[in-house]
Chains A and B, each alone.
Chain A
Amino acid sequence: MNIYLDHVATNPLHPEVLEAMMPYFREHYGNPLSLYEPGMKAREAIETARAATASLINAKPKEIVFTASGAESNNFAVKGIAYANQNKGKHVIVSKIEHHSVLNTARFLEKQGFAVTYLPVDKYGTVNPADIEKAITKETILISVIHASPEIGTIQPIEEIGRIARQKGVIFHTDAVASVGNIPVDVQSLNADLVSFTAHQFYGPKGAAALYVKEGVRIVPLVYGGIQEGGRRAGTENVPAIVGMGRAAELAKRDLKKRVDHVRALRDKIIDCALKIDKALLTGHPEKRLPGHASFVVEYIEGEAMLLLLAAKGIYSASGSACSSKALKASPVLISIGIPAHVAQGSVVFTLGETITEDDITYFTEIFPAVISRLREISPYAKGWEGTEGPTCTAQK
């Protein structure tokens, strides 16, 4: 039995998406800039996909710039707005729990002479809009706050942050990679000027993503060259992937409520199961979180061991950020919400998709507590954090 509980990492292609893409690998392979029939077919397909993608977030088609990844969209937004407005000011505000594609871009801007404020979050990982208001100076040109955290699931008060940004005349970007296609996202009600999102978060292909740029917002391109994307992102378009993104957006819009209801009910069963385990804590906000997202720190064991034992039982999950899983560093997000570094090592994230069944979750609820028990039997810290700082996690259960 294999159960894929890492839907925030990526998703399988929806069969209807693959079906829509195939002709653009085979028959309609023309360059969208070519003037003859195959090129025209490709160009028309891109514009159809643009309209569908725009519709998913209540934008105008011309406000959508296709990119190749969420990371590219975030880089484009942060660098593009900073460069376009550097004559007005050189101050940027981001939260401490941004994705690395925003955080590292902000660090890059610091090296270019910009000042960056990294806003703290509370124990649930929520940014306080009042902190944003206080951080704004006459030099501030951009605020970027993630919509929903892929690591702890918390959904930010983006509407309020956007309202403050608009009142103060500061451009506002939100990284909505984890949210678009998983919860309703309406760029008008979010008061956002720029929104990043990616197709593979809602059963579209990898290699297709988008940046919403509100009409009238000036942005410096990352890639210069041809006239693709209205001159804002040069390079021959990945037509099959863009077509797939458009179809995936149509399906997401059609099925969103059904998907949300389905994953939320099963997600709650995972949370109920995990919180019965001693010293297992839910990370992120208990209510204002992605419906298919359950994240925990489990004390006295190590996250990688947990993932490997779960994988051996056919349950695929994640430990959170690449920082913690690849560099053996404590996740900056978990540290930001007050989880001690040694406890953060016991991080595990389960994210659900539309194909997860009740039977899958029943199996999970049998396996997960047993895996924790087994690991604690062999853990050197099974009786407590001897020799480590801080006896227990201070985060709220």
Chain B
Amino acid sequence: MLVSEAQIELETDGRLKFLDSPMQADSTTDIIYMMCPMHLLTIEDQIKVLQPGEVLAILTDYDGALEDIPAWCAKTGNDFLGIFEDSDHYKFYIRKKTR
């Protein structure tokens, strides 16, 4: 399991949403093995090229993303759809805000 106890605590504040299966995404970016702050920079770059309402998937094994990506979504108004925990990485799903 990739999720530590500290991260599970985060889940209780309502931000983390774990999914039972992967979602369909309009665009997928693999940043596995890249560390902070590549996850945030990558989201900013990738979300710009999506149309409003489209879904971005970010694949990362960086644990800090569990906190950072939902927080980034809350801050920017994009919709954090959830996390699927794969065998050795996470898949984060974000829907670009409509306006």
Which A residues form the contact surface with B (CB < 8 A)?
84, 87, 216, 218-221, 224, 227, 230-232
The chain B residues found within 8 Å of chain A, CB to CB, are 30-35, 37-38, 41, 88
Q: How far is the CA of A216 from the CA of B32 in the complex (A)?
A: 10
- Are B32 and A231 within 8 A (Cβ)? no
Q: Are B37 and A220 touching (Cβ within 8 A)?
A: no
Shortest CB–CB separation between residue B85 and chain A, in angstroms? 15
Q: Are A218 and B38 in contact (CB under 8 A)?
A: no
CB pair B33–A220 under 8 Å, yes or no, is yes
Can you name the residue of chain B whose Cβ is closest to the Cβ of A218? Answer: B32
Q: How far is the CB of A33 from chain B (nearest CB, A)?
A: 11
A218-B30, A221-B33, A227-B41 known; 17 new pairs, CB 8 Å cut-off, are A84-B32, A84-B33, A87-B88, A216-B30, A218-B32, A218-B33, A219-B33, A220-B33, A221-B34, A227-B37, A227-B38, A230-B34, A230-B38, A231-B31, A231-B34, A231-B35, A232-B34
Secondary structure class of chain B's binding surface, majority of residues: loop
CB pairs A–B below 8 angstroms (12 shown): A84-B32, A84-B33, A87-B88, A218-B30, A219-B33, A220-B33, A221-B33, A221-B35, A231-B31, A231-B35, A231-B38, A232-B34
Cα distance A221–B34 in the bound complex, in angstroms: 8
Closest B residue to A215 by beta carbon equals B30
B2 to chain A, nearest CB (A): 13
Shortest Cβ distance from A221 into B: residue: B33
Q: Which residue of A lies closest to B37 (CB)?
A: A227
The smallest C-beta distance from B27 to any residue of chain A, in angstroms, reads 14
> Which residues of A sit under 8 angstroms from B34, Cβ to Cβ?
221, 230-232
**Residues of B close to A220: CB separation below 8 A:** 33
List the B side residues contacting A87 at CB < 8 Å: 88
A69 to chain B, nearest CB (A): 22
